[in-house]
């Protein structure tokens, strides 16, 4: 009998272990219920501020999604990107991929301020960035997913990491894939996550070479549809107009869908990094075709790949800190 009782106690401990209302990440793992006990309204607060910002300006959804990506590719998902320059910190906002283009920081300030009122020093900036990326996707018509939580915030930034680790629009396919692989992501993740270019804008400076001088021979990119190129040139001249904005997906620029992949198949991907998914690699070409014909498949994989990207070397347990303000480390 005593043996049976001890077995039942052990079994019940195992059975109910996942429902633990603890606020420490399980062995450094992230899990969606992390704030259920310590800040039950956290996700609701993030969602309401993001919804208000996106209602005011649809482009903000893409901007917030991009911040999460640019954060995770540098030192992991630790909100290092949100730090302003001060003391020994040189902000990642100054890097080539972020300068004059990373935006949405005021929205994150507003989320953080609301969270601090509700539950002081509980929810990390890294987590609110991951939640804002998911909510931005959903608000523009994309898939939803449960965001694993429990990341903590870094106490430093890496300007060099930001300059070197984030894939650039003019990188070769192989360079882009290598940058993904260094973060534990594969070709499936690369093609699925590139699908975030179904919303948002790009600057003329990011694709100008495709219009005038793709390979240094004074010729446009021959993988770019000629009529599409002709439409782009007036607002993206050989010189000047660097900051002029263009839809990444001209078919449905504010709707999260698979039109991005259909555009690529029609040689109308805006960035070099979009079009090479079709022209430079067999595996990625097949994936572009699959996602172009099956929106559900794209949505399912996008959600999976976002969870995977959000899991790049997070700080957990006693590492890092929970910042009071996302722009600066705690004193």
- Going through 153-299 in order, the beta strands assigned E by DSSP cover 201-203, 245-247
Strands of the chain, DSSP E:
201-203, 245-247
What is the gyration radius of the CA atoms in the chain, in angstroms?
21
Q: Compute CA distances 179 → 65, 126, 201, 286, 327, whole Å.
A: 19, 21, 23, 21, 27
The residue among 120, 158, 145, 154 whose CA lies nearest residue 65 is: 145
- What are φ and ψ of residue 102, in 5° steps? -70, 130
User: Nearest-5° angle of CA 229, CA 234, CA 236?
Assistant: 75
**Catalytic annotation on 37?**
no
As a whole number of angstroms, the distance between CA 49 and CA 139 comes to 12
**CA 223/CA 271 separation, integer angstroms:** 11
Taking the C-alpha atoms of residue 97 and residue 211, their distance in angstroms, rounded to an integer, is: 21
Length of the chain: 331
Distance of alpha carbon 264 from alpha carbon 246, whole angstroms: 16
Of 68, 70, 197, 325, catalytic: 70
SS3 call for 83: coil
Which residues lie closer than 8 Å to 56 by C-beta, 6 or more apart? none
Q: In the structure encoding, which two tokens stand for residue 51, read together? A: 């919804």
The single residue listed with the structure tokens 């973060």 is: 183
Residue with tokens 């990390």: 124
d(CA 307, CA 36): 19
Decide if 96 contacts 84 (C-beta within 8 A).
no
Residues marked as catalytic: 70
């Amino acid at each position: 009998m005593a043996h049976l009782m001890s077995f039942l106690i052990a079994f019940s401990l195992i059975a109910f272990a996942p429902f633990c209302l603890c606020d420490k990440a399980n062995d450094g793992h992230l899990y969606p219920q992390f704030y259920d006990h310590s800040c039950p309204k956290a996700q609701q607060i993030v969602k309401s501020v993001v919804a208000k910002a996106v209602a005011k300006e649809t482009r903000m959804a893409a901007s917030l999604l991009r911040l999460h990506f640019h954060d995770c590719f540098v030192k992991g998902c630790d909100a290092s990107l949100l730090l302003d320059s001060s003391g020994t910190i040189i902000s990642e906002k100054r890097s080539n991929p972020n300068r004059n283009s990373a935006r949405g920081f005021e929205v994150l300030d507003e989320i953080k301020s609301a969270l601090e009122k509700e539950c002081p020093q509980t929810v990390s900036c890294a987590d609110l960035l991951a939640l804002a990326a998911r909510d931005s996707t959903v608000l523009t018509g994309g898939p939803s997913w449960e965001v694993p939580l429990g990341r903590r915030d870094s106490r430093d930034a890496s300007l060099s990491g930001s300059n070197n680790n984030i894939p650039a629009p003019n990188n070769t396919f192989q360079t882009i894939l290598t940058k993904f692989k260094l973060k534990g992501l594969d070709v499936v993740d690369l093609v699925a996550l590139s699908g975030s270019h179904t919303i948002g804008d790009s600057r003329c400076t990011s694709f100008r070479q495709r219009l005038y001088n793709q390979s240094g021979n004074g010729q446009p990119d021959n993988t770019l549809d000629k009529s599409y190129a002709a439409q782009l040139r007036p607002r993206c001249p050989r010189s000047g107009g660097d900051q002029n904005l263009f839809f990444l997906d001209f078919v449905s620029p504010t709707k999260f869908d698979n039109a991005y992949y259909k555009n690529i198949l029609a040689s109308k991907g805006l960035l070099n990094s979009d079009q090479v998914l079709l022209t430079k690699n067999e595996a990625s070409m097949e994936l572009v075709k699959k996602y172009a014909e099956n929106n559900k498949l794209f949505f399912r994989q996008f959600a999976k790949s976002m969870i995977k990207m959000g899991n790049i070397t997070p700080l957990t347990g006693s590492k890092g800190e929970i910042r009071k303000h996302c722009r600066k480390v705690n004193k």
